[in-house]
Amino acid sequence: MKSLLQNREIKIGLAHDIGHVKNYTGRPIQTGINLMSSQPSKTLETFDNPNPESDYSIRIQVPEFTCLCPKTGQPDFAELLIEYVPDQSCVELKALKMYVWSFRDEGAFHEAVSNRILQDLVAATKPRFMRLTADFNVRGGIYTQVIVEHRAEHWTPAIPVSLPG
């Protein structure tokens, strides 16, 4: 006995033109639309901190940040490390991904883009503390690391605890 799938031609992948995408039966499924479900965005979304009474750290690694060199137009690549102590809000990760993606075609000096990202994140989340470390790949034999910080006016960090090793 043949399975249902053995009796049908299965088409996987995309045709050359938008509008010619077909499902496994060969019938068009959606035509005339942009097939990318996500787009870059400058909008940072947040959600309520589930534990606002506690000082705890959130660390987010973004290994694929790209922007353009404002002098040459060549791509610059960096790994971003975002570390923060949230207050009432936390950054939503998919929105952060779309936000980071939005810099891909923008020319920016490393120092300027690092400060802008921190300022935008602080404006969206209003954290007790936030640090952004932007570790840019080598360009012309030079590595650049930009570290920017924000500390809420009346926040005092807890004293670090050293555990015996």
Based on the domain organization, do 28 and 84 belong to the same domain? no
Based on the domain organization, do 77 and 138 belong to the same domain? yes
Based on the domain organization, do 88 and 139 belong to the same domain? yes
69 is catalytic: yes
Structural domain harbouring 82: 46-151
Based on the domain organization, do 23 and 104 belong to the same domain? no
Based on the domain organization, do 29 and 53 belong to the same domain? no
Is residue 156 one of the residues assigned to a domain? no
Confidence of residue 32 (pLDDT cuts 50, 70, 90): low
Catalytic residue among 17, 55, 69, 90: 69
Confidence of residue 36 (pLDDT cuts 50, 70, 90): low
Catalytic residue among 48, 55, 67, 76: 76
Cα distance between residue 46 and residue 23, in whole Å: 36
What's the average model confidence in pLDDT over 19-24? Answer: 43
pLDDT, greater one: 20 or 124: 124
> What is the number of domains present in the chain?
2
Based on the domain organization, do 136 and 89 belong to the same domain? yes
